[in-house]
């Protein structure tokens, strides 16, 4: 009786979770195994997975996605940390003005992708600026940054969105940080660098970790920015799923679903590993 | 060579916080600057610590403070590094100087022993009592042999029972390490107990700077005397009644502490007991005499309200 009441009170949370999330995952996993597919499925239960893992393109895509996500999350958190620290140390008046850093937060990802495209493509603003300044003879000489095979365009777009996000998280912790700790460290003879690494960084590390994991998982699986800025070979996993789902034979639906399932499992594994590490670290710091 | 403050002025938003502050601190001296809250004591410390610039005047150090011999301010709430253990906090300055690990360990061990923190060496600041935190903060400063040590309100966060003990400990430590120390506080008794010299800071000015006994018994103004505790003014026309004569009788008025007045039972005496208050280890008597009321602290509890008494001042030697 008691638990029934509890379930009832939780229902606004539980019902959408059960229907949308669990239902979605169930359908995805089911279709990846050949059940509930739109066309009658003739292959074996794990055929989609076997196919997936034996495909070198998939592996390349996975590594590429990993690399883009890692680079953009690292870049965002590093830039976000340094900028947040810098803004925090500004005089109060300038700090209020520095609020402009939040603007990219309200821009949709797709808009940021366009900004990158407009600025950095071979026919973009930077290229034409370089041309009119005489740095390059023809627009075509501008390095092909966006499609260099390294995913630079995507990394740039993700970092533009991710940096202010990381700043936001870190600023929240810095606002509660006693600046006299920095004075104390200087008085005791620590250099600026030592003070930053030994006194400031440990205090904002939790926000940096959380920011990193959120940004990493987002850029690993998001679709909008890669759709605009991705390169085809290797492509990002999310774009591959999209192509498999919409542009290929309906019979390949299990493969698309297997890829989604794989991405989901990877994200879950990462979060589990992350919280284990954090728990162990916090055990040491709980006394603080 | 002394640390010397020369005519330090500080204005803040059009208001004068400190005016014309000059004093000097000897190489092994412990000096307390006492004043009520909000009188600019912390500002003065921050100026000496070079965390704030004075509007005028200068602080002259015997040897300019350097990274090797810095001026260290121990904040009122200690500002320990919360993510480091006691050992980490005390060793911070040495680690910053890239001293070898074994040497840091050894020197921190010595500090832990001297400051009675051996058992807490692995604890984090949040696990310490206020007294322990303060010892960590002082140890963290002493280990790098600072040019000057500044203590901001060293007794403010301590329990009443711990204050005097701490004053003794600070004095002992200061003498042991021989580091010139300036403390600012509004805790009078503790400052008197531990200091070589005391400065009274009132309304942004240093009113008197002298040895504790001199300040207490010979305040140079009524304001100073009043700040240090209740004080009675004996005007000239009452000198005879109080038995004042000789050299002392040449002054226009005499400032007398309540403990320096004595009551004697005397029928038809000029004084009359108005009020008797029990205050623990002494009794407070309010005595009316002509149109004035005098406060007397006495160990005798034999006087009753309404009783007629004579009021005398203790001779100089008994003060």
Count of domains for chain A: 1
Give the nearest chain A residue to B46 (CA atoms): A183
Residues B24, B95 within the same domain: yes
Task: Please tell me whether residue A154 adopts helix, strand or coil conformation.
Answer: helix
Asked if A288 and B71 come within 8 Å (Cβ–Cβ), the reply is: no
Asked if A189 and B82 come within 8 Å (Cβ–Cβ), the reply is: no
What average pLDDT score do residues B108-130 get? 93
**CATH number of the domain within which B7 lies:** 3.40.50.300
Tell me the C-alpha to C-alpha distance, in Å, between residue B254 and each of B146, B232, B247, B316: 44, 8, 12, 12
Residue A106 forms contact with B (CB below 8 Å): no
Q: Which of B180, B205, B226 is the last residue of a domain?
A: B226
- What does DSSP assign to residue B42? H
Residues B215, B270 within the same domain: no
> Residue A186 contacts by C-beta under 8 Å, 6 or more apart in sequence?
A195
Asked if B93 and A285 come within 8 Å (Cβ–Cβ), the reply is: no
pLDDT at A101: 84
Asked if B92 and A191 come within 8 Å (Cβ–Cβ), the reply is: no
Say how far apart CA B202 and CA B183 lie, in whole Å: 16
Q: Find chain B residues with C-beta within 8 A of A288's C-beta.
A: 82-83, 124-126
ipTM for the predicted complex: 0.81
**CB-closest option in B75, B97, B123 to A189:** B97
Residues B159, B108 within the same domain: yes
Count of domains for chain B: 2
**CB-closest option in B49, B51, B93 to A189:** B93
Beta bridge partners of B32: B183, B198
Query: Is residue B240 scored above 70 in pLDDT?
Result: yes
Asked if B75 and A184 come within 8 Å (Cβ–Cβ), the reply is: yes
pLDDT at A232: 67
pLDDT at A287: 46
Q: Is residue A17 part of a domain?
A: no
> Residue A99 contacts by C-beta under 8 Å, 6 or more apart in sequence?
none
Q: Note down the domain range covering A156.
A: 27-285
Residues B198, B65 within the same domain: yes
**CATH number of the domain within which A120 lies:** 1.10.3720.10
Could you report the per-residue pLDDT of B138-192, keeping only the tens digit for each? Answer: 999 999 999 999 999 999 888 888 899 899 999 999 999 889 999 999 888 899 9
- What does DSSP assign to residue B199? E
Q: Note down the domain range covering B267.
A: 232-318
Task: Please tell me whether residue B97 adopts helix, strand or coil conformation.
Answer: coil
pLDDT at B2: 81
In Å, how far is B156's CA from the nearest CA of chain A?
Answer: 18
Q: Are B152 and B105 in contact (CB under 8 A)?
A: no
Could you report the per-residue pLDDT of A265-275, keeping only the tens digit for each? Answer: 999 999 899 88
Could you report the per-residue pLDDT of A226-235, keeping only the tens digit for each? Answer: 888 877 677 8
Residues B57, B177 within the same domain: yes
Residues B306, B257 within the same domain: yes
Neighbours of A44 (CB within 10 A): 11
pLDDT at A241: 86
Residues B237, B186 within the same domain: no
pLDDT at A80: 95
Say how far apart CA B135 and CA B114 lie, in whole Å: 10
Q: Is residue A68 part of a domain?
A: yes
Residues B276, B312 within the same domain: yes
Tokens 């240090």 map to which residue?
B228
Query: Is residue B269 scored above 90 in pLDDT?
Result: no
Residues B305, B164 within the same domain: no
Residues B193, B293 within the same domain: no
Residues B63, B188 within the same domain: yes
Residues B296, B151 within the same domain: no
Say how far apart CA A77 and CA A212 lie, in whole Å: 6
Q: Are B227 and B205 in contact (CB under 8 A)?
A: no
Q: Which of B184, B208, B226 is the last residue of a domain?
A: B226
pLDDT along chain A (288 residues), means of 10: 85 87 88 80 80 86 92 96 92 83 86 89 86 83 80 90 93 91 93 93 90 92 86 81 82 86 92 86 59
Asked if B72 and A187 come within 8 Å (Cβ–Cβ), the reply is: yes
Among candidate residues B235, B242, B237, the one with its CA nearest the CA of residue B261 = B242
Q: Is residue A244 part of a domain?
A: yes
Q: Are B7 and B56 in contact (CB under 8 A)?
A: yes
């Amino acid at each position: 009786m008691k638990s029934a009441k509890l379930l009832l009170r939780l229902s606004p949370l539980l019902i959408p979770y059960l229907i949308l999330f669990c239902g979605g995952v169930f359908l995805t996993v089911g279709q990846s195994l050949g059940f509930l597919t739109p066309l009658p499925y003739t292959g074996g239960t794990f055929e989609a997975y076997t196919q997936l893992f034996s495909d070198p393109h998939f592996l390349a895509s996975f590594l590429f996605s990993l690399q883009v996500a890692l680079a953009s999350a690292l870049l965002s958190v590093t830039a976000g940390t340094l900028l947040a620290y810098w803004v925090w140390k500004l005089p109060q008046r300038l700090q209020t003005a520095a609020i402009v850093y939040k603007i990219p937060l309200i821009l949709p990802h797709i808009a940021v992708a366009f900004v990158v495209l407009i600025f950095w493509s071979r026919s973009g603003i930077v290229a034409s600026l370089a041309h009119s300044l005489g740095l390059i003879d023809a627009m075509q000489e501008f390095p092909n940054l966006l499609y260099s095979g390294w995913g630079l365009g995507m990394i740039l777009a993700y970092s533009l969105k991710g940096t202010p996000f990381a700043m936001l998280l870190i600023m929240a912790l810095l606002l509660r940080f006693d600046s006299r700790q920095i004075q104390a460290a200087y008085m005791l003879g620590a250099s600026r660098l030592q003070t930053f690494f030994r006194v400031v960084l440990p205090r904002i590390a939790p926000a940096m970790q959380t920011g990193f994991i959120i940004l990493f998982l987002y850029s690993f699986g998001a679709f909008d920015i890669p759709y605009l800025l991705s390169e085809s070979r290797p492509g990002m996993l999310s774009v591959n799923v999209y192509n498999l789902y919409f542009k290929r034979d309906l019979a390949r639906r299990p493969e698309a679903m297997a890829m989604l399932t794989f991405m989901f499992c990877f994200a879950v594994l990462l979060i589990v590993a992350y919280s284990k590490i954090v728990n162990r670290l916090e055990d040491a710091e709980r006394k603080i | 060579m002394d640390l010397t403050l020369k005519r330090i002025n500080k204005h803040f938003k059009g208001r004068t916080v400190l005016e014309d502050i000059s004093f000097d601190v000897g190489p092994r001296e412990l000096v307390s600057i006492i004043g009520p809250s909000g009188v600019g004591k912390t500002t003065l410390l921050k100026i000496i610590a070079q965390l704030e610039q004075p509007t005028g005047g200068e602080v002259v150090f015997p040897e300019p403070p350097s990274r090797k011999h810095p001026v260290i301010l121990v904040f009122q709430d200690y500002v320990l590094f919360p993510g480091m253990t006691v050992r980490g906090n005390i060793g911070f300055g040495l680690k910053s100087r890239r001293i070898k690990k074994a040497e840091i360990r050894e020197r921190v061990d010595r500090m832990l022993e001297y400051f009675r923190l051996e058992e807490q060496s692995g604890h984090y600041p949040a696990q310490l009592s206020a007294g322990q935190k303060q010892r960590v903060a002082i140890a963290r400063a002493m280990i790098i042999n600072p040019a000057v040590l500044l203590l901001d309100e060293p007794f403010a966060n301590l329990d009443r029972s711990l204050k005097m003990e701490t004053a003794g400990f600070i004095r002992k430590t200061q003498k042991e390490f021989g580091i010139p120390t300036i403390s600012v506080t509004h805790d009078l008794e503790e400052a008197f107990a531990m200091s070589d010299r005391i400065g009274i800071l009132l309304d942004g000015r240093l009113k008197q700077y002298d040895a504790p006994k001199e300040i207490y018994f010979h305040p140079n103004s009524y304001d100073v005397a009043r700040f240090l505790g209740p004080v009675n003014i004996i005007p000239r026309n009452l000198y005879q009644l109080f038995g004042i004569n000789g050299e002392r009788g040449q002054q226009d008025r005499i400032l007398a502490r309540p403990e320096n007045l004595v009551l004697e039972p005397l029928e038809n005496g000029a004084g009359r007991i108005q009020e008797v208050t029990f205050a623990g280890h002494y009794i407070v008597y309010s005595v009316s005499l002509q149109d004035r009321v005098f406060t007397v602290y006495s160990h005798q509890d034999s006087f009753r309200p309404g009783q007629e008494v004579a009021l005398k001042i203790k001779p100089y030697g008994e003060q």
